[in-house]
Amino acid sequence: MSEDKVLKSWNDKQKLDKKQARKLVWKTRLSIGFAVVRVLFIIFLLYTAYMLTISIYYNQSGNSQDFERFVSTLVETRNPGISVEWDRFDTEISPLLTQKTSATLYRHIGDWEVAVGEVTAEKILFNPIYYSIEYNNKYINESSPYYVVPPDLLGRNFEVEADNSLLSQLEKMEDGYVVQVLLSTKKGMDPEALRKILSAYDIEIYQMPIYAGELTNFEVNNFGSSNHVSVDSLMLRPQIVYGEENSWTSRLRSLTDQESLKKSVAQVPKDLEWLVDQRNYFDKETDVKRLAYIKENGIQVYGATVTGPVREIERLMEEEMLHQFQLGGIEVWNWTEK
């Protein structure tokens, strides 16, 4: 065989070997690729089955309703002037079993429930529940309304500073508006005694701040001066009735009538007992002390969240026992006379 033929045969063999090698490389790549796809698909199926299983269990076991009840109770019993749109929570659970939820917050202003923000809450496994509130503020540096604790509840003797700024605002408003107002009392009162005073006016009552030993029996967040004290207080709210697995069934509209107030007052220690027995949260120890104080001393209130026509609120501001009126919101007329 000539040298040229040998060389040509060798080159042809080299080309064939390279082609086979390329085919082998591509086969290997495709095989690895298909294997990766199969693994990813199996992982996806397992993840989907896992998430479907825990989601079904989470919803059917009542854990989602339990979490939603917990968050709504926390928010409504310690935030003045707002309520939670309880039946429209957006609740989910993560692969790491972190519970998350959100709901719209609103204020009662006249006959309307006006959306004012959103609450979001999170419960990481083995950690306390945390929630945050984001308001849809209309104004920069808008402050939240508050109640002033009367001196007799604090065991002190001082003259509370007068604040007539809201009255001057209302006097400049024409008829045709309704407002939400937070008001304080000049001394601690039985809830029914305060309701009787307020019942003489064409208004609705939605909250009353409860004095539960703050500052006298234990420390809580507070602000003001020596004769103007506000604290993080517990809210008396309209009673909510729960069914099986903590599902929401009904709630009272307001605290305006005697029977509704009576039922709502009876619900306060039950709500606190349920909270402290269920989960860990940021001020659980404070609620334990509040519960002990209420059981020993009963329920005293020192203000209210009310709504009604502007002219009626002006009349209300002349009441001797009431002071420190704070504006919660204002809307155009939407009122049915009571």
Per the document, the length of the chain is: 338
Q: How far apart (Å, rounded) are the C-alpha atoms in residues 107 and 36? A: 54
Kindly state the tokens that stand for 43: 């992982």
- Is 191 among the domain residues? yes
- Is 157 among the domain residues? yes
- Is 30 among the domain residues? no
> Which residues are bridge partners to 90 per DSSP?
102
Number of domains in the chain: 1
Q: Dump pLDDT digits (tens) for 52-84.
A: 766 665 666 557 888 899 999 999 999 999 999
- Is 16 among the domain residues? no
Q: Dump pLDDT digits (tens) for 248-282.
A: 788 899 999 999 999 999 999 999 999 999 878 88
- Is 1 among the domain residues? no
Pick the closest to residue 150 from 163, 142, 161 (CA basis): 161
**Which stretches within the chain are classed as H helix?**
3-60, 63-76, 151-154, 165-171, 191-198, 258-278, 284-297, 310-316
Note the maximum CA span of the chain: 127
- Is 245 among the domain residues? yes
Kindly state the tokens that stand for 35: 């294997």
- Is 207 among the domain residues? yes
For the CA atoms of 85, 76, 322, 200, the dihedral, rounded to the nearest 10 degrees, stands at: 50
Q: For position 137, what pLDDT does the model report? A: 82
Q: How far apart (Å, rounded) are the C-alpha atoms in residues 287 and 244? A: 25
- Is 244 among the domain residues? yes
- The dihedral built from the CA positions of residue 288, 293, 294 and 296, taken in this order, carries a sign that is positive
Q: For position 87, what pLDDT does the model report? A: 75
Residue numbers of the domain that contains 244: 63-332
Pick the closest to residue 104 from 122, 88, 81, 124 (CA basis): 88
Q: For position 66, what pLDDT does the model report? A: 87
pTM of the model: 0.84
Distance from the Cα of residue 172 to its chain's centroid:
34
Question: Which portions of the chain are predicted below pLDDT 50?
Answer: 6-7
